[in-house]
Amino acid sequence: MSLEAHKDMRRKSGLPYIMHPLAVAQIVAEEIGLGTMAIIAALLHDTVEDTHLTLNDIEKNFGKKVGTIVDGLTKISGVFEQGTSLQAENFRKVLLTLSDDIRVILIKLADRLHNMRTLDHMAREKQLKIASETAYLYAPLAHRLGLYAIKVEMDDLAMKYTDPEIYESINTKLQETKRERQRFISEFSDPIKEEIERQGLKCEIKGRPKSVHSIWMKMKKQGVEFDEIYDIFAIRIIIDVNEEDEKALCWRVYSIVTDFYHPNPDRLRDWISTPKSTGYESLHTTVMGPAGRWVEVQIRSRRMDEIAEKGYAAHWKYKESAAESAVDEWISKIRELLENPESNALDFIDDFKLNLFNDEIFVFTPNGELKSLPGGSTALDFAFEIHSAVGSKCIGAKANHKLVPLSHKLRSGDQVEILTSSKQTPKEDWLNFVVTAKAKSKIKNALKEEKKSVAEDGKEILQRKFKHLKIHFNNENINELLAFYKIPSTLELYYRIAKGILDIYDLKDFVEEKGQIKAKAPRPLEQQSLEHMVRSIRGNSDMLVLGENLDRIDYKLSTCCNPIPGDDVFGFVTVGEGIKIHRVSCPNAIQLMSNYAYRIVKAKWTNQQQIAFLAGIRMTGIDEVGIVNKISKVISSELKVNMRSISIDSNDGIFDGTIMLFVHDTEHLTKLMKKLKEIHGILTVSRVDAG
């Protein structure tokens, strides 16, 4: 039927068109291992789109199921072929058809693989487009469905067209070293094979080179040349055994291998006890072979080997349930992504790639339940994976019983307990380190809500303050505050008041008259010096005023001495970087002042309430239980200061610590240092000078 429908068509290579559906059906049967129905659908996959045949014709002749698969393939063919960019909407379509019948995507992968194998006949720009698309989406998709052999071939073929020179050079070197490699492989494996067979097991030992693409990735990652890569090939030992004896016998073979060669203890991977979510099972080890070369050895049964090559399709042949549940779980994650209405097209593709194509990690809950997450996930992602309420209240975690921060990247096999607090709320900086789509969207929603409720508290604080000072709580007065503090909205004003960023308790900058407030006129002296400053940045008579009204003057705080408001400072006119502000006591001050006196500008600070500056404090004291707790309590609760980092070294009962924190000015810092000195056990407190 397919031959008849395509009889007048030819491929770009000049061959009859039927060769393409035939080749796709062959890949589906031999390389993926699907059954009759998929083969029929593969032979007919282009007919509805390109010929006079309709879906009705197909359903009449071959039944409803084949019709559904061909319909799925018709909907998505052309999705990636036309248009210059990968459109997320089209990609969504592919994923939605995938959830109807997984065979749709398997046949689509076979179709793409054959197109890649025959890409020579296409125009150069078409080759580049199809190759990069394949590397971007199809190869990871094949990998995710466990079709390892297809993934490797797709990556190699894509590289052949996108990086032809590198591809050719690695490929040539692989050919040149082929004979030497084969000699090494037989020298390595002959004694092992003899021993395995002596113990009554049947096995096959293969040595296959790594793919060109994976060698290139290794060269890039390790920054080495081809000759320096030690594991150019892997030895695979496949044993013929019953399913119930597999695990024990694979370990027995491992023991035989390590009788001959020393294993590298850091390179043992047991995918037999916990298979990957693609269904991949195998035992990997790296051993020191003859001539001092490391060799990767993979040990697996015949069943495991077939699953490793053919993925889910082979699973069905052995045990339907395992494959079904893994695919279902994957599809339900795709659905979760598709249901996030806010994500724009490009975010969607990025989240999809990140959450579904990434290597995953397996993490355990405290009671031993297994959760899978994309690689790179943090403790906070894990918390949101459990439940969004757990994520929102998360303050830290214990990974393998050790305390870790929220941003701690998890590794496979970690057992993670999430620590929560009813006082915790999602923070803005959480978005910098979570990777799962679920965590991102929940945090964004929570932040919007939180700002509104905090602002409500700020509004009440302001109302009470106004009432106490007998000032009317009306729009005119609120606008006066907004204008004076240069705040864009009332929401922001209330939020800053609630957070203590804005201290409006004394309202000393305003005059009050009959319940109305007006900002005091600025002192003429500062205004004068500012005009002076702008007119001419020359000589020591000028004064640089640092503060809110100075948006037009480009100044930077120098990192060699980290000046903060209240310090005695001076400005130094640099070439190209505006004015740099240094402390008078800066280690570089003397040199600057003596060599470049003509480029020195006097400077002083004005009111700096909104901005927090980073400053450092160094302390020494007697190391006693709870000292860190006492220090952080003074800093965060009594003086409401944000700490950036605290590091404490203890040596024979004496501790030496440095704290980096954000303060408003020198007065603020002095007050804090005074408080710290009062803590029992602290001997000295000083400011850290260098940045």
Residues annotated as catalytic (active site), given as ranges: 49-50
Give the Cα separation of 512 and 519 in Å (integer).
Answer: 9
Of the candidates 107, 134, 151, 159, the residue with the CA atom closest to the CA atom of residue 309: 151
- Bridge partners, 284 (sequence order): 269, 298
Q: Are 256 and 196 in contact (CB under 8 A)?
A: yes
Residue 501 phi, psi (nearest 5): -70, -35
Q: Collect all residues with Cβ–Cβ distance below 8 Å to 674 and sequence separation of at least 6.
A: none
Angle (CA) 201 203 204, round 5°: 170
Q: Which long-range contacts (CB under 8 A, 24 or more apart) does 532-540 make?
A: 533/601, 537/573, 537/579, 537/601, 538/598, 539/598, 540/597, 540/600, 540/601, 540/602
- Could you give the strand order of the β-sheet that contains 579-583, starting from the edge strand earlier in sequence? 543-546, 600-605, 569-573, 579-583, 555-557
Of the candidates 541, 580, 544, 579, the residue with the CA atom closest to the CA atom of residue 563: 580
E strand or H helix at 238: strand 233-240
Question: How far is the CA of 29 from the CAs of 40, 43, 314, 316, 545, in angstroms?
Answer: 10, 11, 11, 14, 79
Q: Are 141 and 357 in contact (CB under 8 A)?
A: yes
Question: How far is the CA of 349 from the CAs of 89, 249, 330, 438, 560, in angstroms?
Answer: 10, 43, 16, 14, 44
User: How many other C-beta atoms can be found within 10 angstroms of the C-beta atom of residue 170?
Assistant: 22
Give the Cα separation of 622 and 619 in Å (integer).
Answer: 10
Scan for tokens 């096999």, then name that residue. Answer: 413
Can you say whether residue 425 is alpha, beta or left, with left for phi > 0 and alpha for psi between -120 and 50 degrees?
beta
User: Checking DSSP bridges between strand 294-301 and strand 283-288, what pairing results, if any?
Assistant: antiparallel
Q: Are 538 and 564 in contact (CB under 8 A)?
A: no
Of the candidates 364, 374, 311, the residue with the CA atom closest to the CA atom of residue 337: 374
Residue type, 441: S
Residue type, 52: H
CA dihedral of 85, 90, 91, 94, whole degrees rounded to 10:
-140
Of the candidates 501, 479, 498, the residue with the CA atom closest to the CA atom of residue 608: 501
DSSP code string of 278-306 = T----EEEEEE-GGG-EEEEEEEEHHHHH
